[in-house]
Chains A and B, each alone.
Chain A
């Protein structure tokens, strides 16, 4: 049947009777391009508000009815079937009188004639047009990105392609460690593929998660057998007729049977652009979702609203509601942007984030870590309001936090307890003690040992416990990680009332933790914590990445505990240890080459003199440790200065290090008429053995050739005084603010024994002293008897300590100057980023 449909002299179109079934002359015609979630949500809302108002035609490019795109991940993982994620069946369209044209992408819009034309040539007129074309996966433009086997993760066809590949097994590389990429990786892994995730950023899902949560997520995925490469930049996709590998910028090549590209989406605005609608990053719309053409609307991922594009479902639905209100003839509705939250849909991995959690001026962080349960929560507050939330491992309060955040609610009253979740506290939420009192007896207080409130209260009342230590001893609550010790103390306070006085607090490492140096060190060794992120989580750090006080300490503790295994964290080192020189008050550096045992020669002195001339070094000074210090070297000159010193055979003197500094000697029996032993030769041997080691604080040694002690050996960390019958070893001395003379540790007969005792003493100090504690206060704190018991009374232990010292030395005796001067290590440290003007 031919019919003239257009009232404004548009073209004559042919539609069959069925398609025109509901086309009454009075009805306006609404054409929806896009059968996805945003477009159909608009139609659903519209039908609810103004049923029958429009004659609706929907074009879908995919050959399916409308489905829940965000549930594609469970389909990939085999947890749902396609039928289960269909939102509106074809019957629904029929029942609502909607003409659904699937598998028919729209190719063009004639704005003058107010018609759209589809790929198959079908022309449909509209009074109002809604563009809801969504987005397309962003394919990074590297060579090979168009090869067969490179798949996006956008629609059911992509899922089918992935499932077909997974059925054959083999290896998948997923490019992109964001929400979609990780869901794809998990699905492919569940389906039996070997999966590697390649992510450009340092941590996963960096837009939704802070680094701590990102690290936990990475651990969990790795535990599931997914390989995760962060900081990995894809250079090329390799293959002839099908992908065979992904090559990274650093040269690594990852074999691949399929490559899933999930680095992001870009608004699909081609149709709008071709029709001459105003476009930015998407089709530009106003607060009523109207494009630059008043009869054309756009909604969903294809739009740019107030300069922002959206890729999550909640904002799309908010847009759809506003638009439906407008289309239904309502007024006053406006879309003004969204606050969003995200959840990762990987079964068994609970991740939630919402709002702005980047911190910043005037914000405060509340961080909660429950190491035993693998929980990390971080709330960011500003001016008494919740600004952002990141939850890992326990996301049940995500919805509550999100509503507080969206409403901009004043949370000052709940501040102290809100991190524990909505169920915590109630009316007296502001008072932590009241919150504890309100807990049921079955509430678990100590996650490590599974101790409930009832058990603790019973122990307190029946056994008459009055202190944290007693509760620990009787119930094991807070006996492991100690994270609940504050809660247990409150329980004591609540149970005993005035009868309880809190124990004097031990001094925590820094403001980031309530644990002491000793507790943290013990945990690193006993619980096998091997990275800083592991320590932050296991010891429930209250800051995301520590501070300038705890980071260098943790770096040292980890380095000491796991020699050869722990990767030194460069950014957790104080500048002198990063630049391998000493910063001076004017920002220049001083350079001290090593002079073994204080010995030098003409060639070395000549090279030093040449360096001084060549680099205009203003001050040259002899140090107390029998070396030469070059002052006023510009930072950018350091590698060149080192290169020249290296060329003359000199290496770093580590004058900047919490490590072995010098071995001061006198000339001894070789020249001195009083000398009893070869003190210089022994000093050189000691320095060769101990140089390069990292220690809690600086370490200085000395060897004097006779009891006249010209090398001042008895105010050194370890000093050797030669005597006729052998050697006296003195330990725990220093000059400085509080001068302390050494204690005599032992007398030995041979140089070999001196070396063994020295290695053992160094290792005992390395393993037991707190960071930035020199040997003098350490020896005073633990007592000389403790040192003697380990080194003198227990030869077995002495040998074991020495062996551990020598083992760790095999990883630390590379000249850091040569690495930087010749091999270009850490070049960025010495070069400007740019010079302008």
Chain B
């Protein structure tokens, strides 16, 4: 969470309310559709909420459909494991998907869509994945 908090402290941030934490199943995910693409919101067992671009850095599989465990999600297509807080793929895989700062106030969940660090993914391996 630290990295996200640092980012949000920078300047005027527009928060968009997207729903209640209770709408996201524990160890589950829901999707917010935006003009910039789908954002997947995840809820951990400890009731933290994270938001990632809904696309695995490997082959853009929808991470919202994966299994959430600890602070990670496993992509449903090829089992890449992605860190919810950063969007980084867990080694040995390499890659990073975009993440969006999340704010939870009471039960209400908001996204700072303007602060999103979206990436067009892409595997950094030499194998030519896009």
A interface footprint on B1-29 (CB within 8 Å = 1, 0 otherwise): 11100000000000010110001111110
Contact (Cβ within 8 A) B26 A206: no
- Name A571's contact: one of B67, B71, B83, B111 (CB within 8 Å): B67
Q: How far is the CB of A623 from chain B (nearest CB, A)?
A: 21
B123 within 8 A of A: no
Task: Please determine whether B27 and A571 come into contact, CB atoms closer than 8 angstroms.
Answer: yes
Q: Does A26 touch B at the CB level, under 8 Å?
A: no
State the CA gap A237–B102 with chains docked (Å).
Answer: 34
Q: Give complex CA distance A206, B21 in Å.
A: 15
CB contact list, A783-837 vs B, under 8 A: 828, 832-837
Residues of A within 8 A of B86 (CB): 361
Q: Tell me the residues in window 513-563 of chain A with beta carbons closer than 8 Å to chain B beta carbons.
A: 543-548, 551-552
| Given contacts A360-B71, A552-B67, A587-B62, A836 and B34 within 8 Å (CB-CB) | yes
Alpha-carbon distance A201/B68, docked complex (angstroms) = 18
A835 touches B85 (CB 8 A): no
B69 touches A545 (CB 8 A): yes
Residue of B nearest to A211 (CB): B45
Q: Which residues of the partner chain A approach B97 to less than 8 Å between Cβ atoms?
A: none
Q: A543 and B77 in contact (CB under 8 A), knowing A836-B18, A836-B113?
A: no
In the bound complex, residues from chain B placing their C-beta under 8 Å from that of A837 are 34-36, 113
Whether a CB of chain B sits under 8 angstroms from the CB of A585 is yes
> What 0/1 pattern do residues 65 to 109 of A give for CB contact below 8 A with B?
000000000000000000000000000000000000000000000
Contact with B along A199-219 (1 / 0, CB 8 A): 001110010001100000000
- CB neighbours (8 Å) of B52 from chain A are none
Residues of B with C-beta under 8 A to A587: 61-62, 65
Q: List B contacts of A574 (CB < 8 A).
A: 67, 76
Contact A832 B66 (CB under 8 A): no
Instruction: Tell me if B67 and A836 are in contact (CB < 8 A).
Output: no
Contact status of A835 and B33, CB under 8 A, knowing A359-B71, A360-B1: yes
A575 at the interface (CB under 8 A from B): yes
Interface positions of B from 79 to 101, Cβ below 8 Å from A: 79, 81, 83, 85-86, 88
- Which residue on A lies nearest to B36, using beta carbons? A837
Contact B32 A833 (CB under 8 A): yes
Q: Among the listed B65, B70, B113, which residue makes an inter-chain contact with A545, where contact means beta carbons less than 8 Å apart?
A: B70
The reply on A583 being an interface residue by CB < 8 A is yes
Chain B residue numbers with a CB within 8 Å of A615 are none
Q: Decide if A545 touches B45 in the complex (CB within 8 Å).
A: yes
Cβ of B69: which chain A residues have Cβ within 8 Å of it? 543, 545-548, 551
Report B-chain residues with C-beta under 8 Å of the C-beta of A547: 69-70, 74
- Say if the beta carbon of A674 comes within 8 Å of chain B: no
Contact of B46 among A210, A572, A576, A583 (CB under 8 A): A210
Q: Is the CB of B26 within 8 A of A571?
A: yes
In the bound complex, what is the Cα–Cα distance between A504 and B10 (angstroms)?
A: 54
Is there contact, CB below 8 Å, between A572 and B67? yes
Which residue of the partner chain, among A201, A360, A548, A551, contacts B85 with CB atoms under 8 Å? A360
In the bound assembly, the distance between CA atoms of A91 and B116 in angstroms comes to 63
CB distance from B17 to the nearest CB of A (A): 8
Residues 210-234 of A, flagged 1 when their CB comes within 8 A of B and 0 if not, give 1100000000000000000000000
Given the interface contacts A544-B70, A545-B45, A572-B67, does A833 sit within 8 Å of B24 by beta carbon?
yes
B79→A548 contact, CB < 8 A = yes
CB under 8 Å from chain A, chain B span 87-130:
88, 111, 113
Q: Is A43 an interface residue (CB 8 A)?
A: no
For B2, list chain A residues within 8 Å (CB): 360-361
Query: Is A833 a contact of B19 with CB atoms below 8 Å?
Result: yes
- Decide if B66 touches A834 in the complex (CB within 8 Å): no
Separation of A543 and B81 alpha carbons in the complex (Å): 15
Residues of chain B contacted by A572 (CB below 8 angstroms): 27, 67
| In the complex, A358 has a CB within 8 A of chain B | yes
Closest chain B residue, CB of each to CB of A212? B45
Instruction: Kindly list chain B residues whose C-beta atoms are within 8 Å of the C-beta of A358.
Output: 1, 46, 48, 71
Q: How far is the CB of B40 from chain A (nearest CB, A)?
A: 9
**A753 CA to B15 CA, complexed, in Å:** 66
Residue of B nearest to A583 (CB): B76
Is residue A570 contacting chain B, with contact meaning CB distance below 8 A? Answer: yes
Task: Please give the distance in Å from A802's CB to the nearest CB on chain B.
Answer: 33
- Asked if A579 is at the interface (CB within 8 A of a chain B CB), the reply is yes
Q: Decide: A828 and B30 in contact? CB cutoff 8 A.
A: yes
Q: B32, B47, B76: which contacts A575 (Cβ < 8 A)?
A: B76
Smallest CB separation, B80 vs chain A (Å): 10
Is the CB–CB distance between A833 and B70 below 8 Å? no
Contact partner, B81, options A544, A548, A575, Cβ 8 Å: A548
A553 to B16, CA, bound (A): 38
Q: How far is the CA of A686 from the CA of B16 in the complex (A)?
A: 54
Q: Provide the bound-state CA to CA distance between A585 and B62, in Å.
A: 9
- Taking a contact as CB atoms under 8 Å apart, the answer to whether B16 and A571 are in contact is no
Q: Specify the chain A residue showing the minimal Cβ separation from B28.
A: A571
Shortest CB distance B77–A (Å): 7
A553-607 with Cβ < 8 A to chain B: 570-576, 578-579, 583, 585, 587
Separation of A185 and B47 alpha carbons in the complex (Å): 24
- Closest chain B residue to A545, Cβ basis: B45
Which residues from chain B contact A583 at a C-beta distance below 8 Å? 62, 65, 76-77
Interface-central residue, A358, A544, A571, A573, by most chain B CB under 10 Å: A571
Contact between B33 and A571, CB atoms less than 8 A apart: no
Contact A548–B74 (Cβ < 8 Å): yes
Do A585 and B59 have beta carbons less than 8 Å apart?
yes
**Residue numbers in B under 8 Å from A571 (CB-CB):** 25-28, 67-68
Q: Which A-chain residue is minimally distant from B19 (CB atoms)? A: A833
Are B67's CB and A551's CB within 8 A? yes
Please tell me if the beta carbons of A836 and B33 are within 8 angstroms of each other in the complex.
Answer: yes
Q: Is the CB of A828 within 8 A of B35?
A: no
The docked-state distance in angstroms from the alpha carbon of A574 to that of B2 is 30
Q: Which residues of A contact B45 (CB under 8 A)?
A: 202-203, 210-211, 544-545
Give A573 to B67 CA distance when docked, in angstroms: 7
Shortest Cβ distance from residue A196 to the other chain B in the assembled complex, whole angstroms: 21
Which chain B positions have C-beta within 8 A of A201? 47
Find the residue from A202, A543, A579 having the highest chain B CB count within 10 A: A202
A583 to B75, CA, bound (A): 12
- Whole-angstrom distance between the alpha carbons of A713 and B31 in the complex? 43
Q: Give Cα A579–Cα B64 distance, bound, in whole angstroms.
A: 12
Q: Which residues of A contact B (CB under 8 A)?
A: 201-203, 206, 210-211, 358-361, 543-548, 551-552, 570-576, 578-579, 583, 585, 587, 828, 832-837
What are 18 of the A-B contact pairs (CB < 8 Å)? A211-B46, A358-B1, A359-B46, A361-B71, A545-B45, A547-B74, A548-B67, A548-B74, A571-B27, A575-B67, A578-B65, A583-B77, A587-B65, A828-B24, A828-B30, A834-B32, A836-B32, A837-B35
Chain B positions within 8 Å of A, measured between CB atoms, are: 1-3, 16, 18-19, 23-28, 30-36, 41, 45-48, 59, 61-62, 65-71, 74, 76-77, 79, 81, 83, 85-86, 88, 111, 113
Besides A579-B65, A835-B33, 16 more A-B contacts (Cβ < 8 Å) are: A201-B47, A206-B47, A359-B71, A360-B1, A360-B85, A361-B71, A544-B70, A546-B69, A547-B70, A548-B66, A548-B67, A571-B68, A575-B66, A833-B30, A836-B32, A837-B113
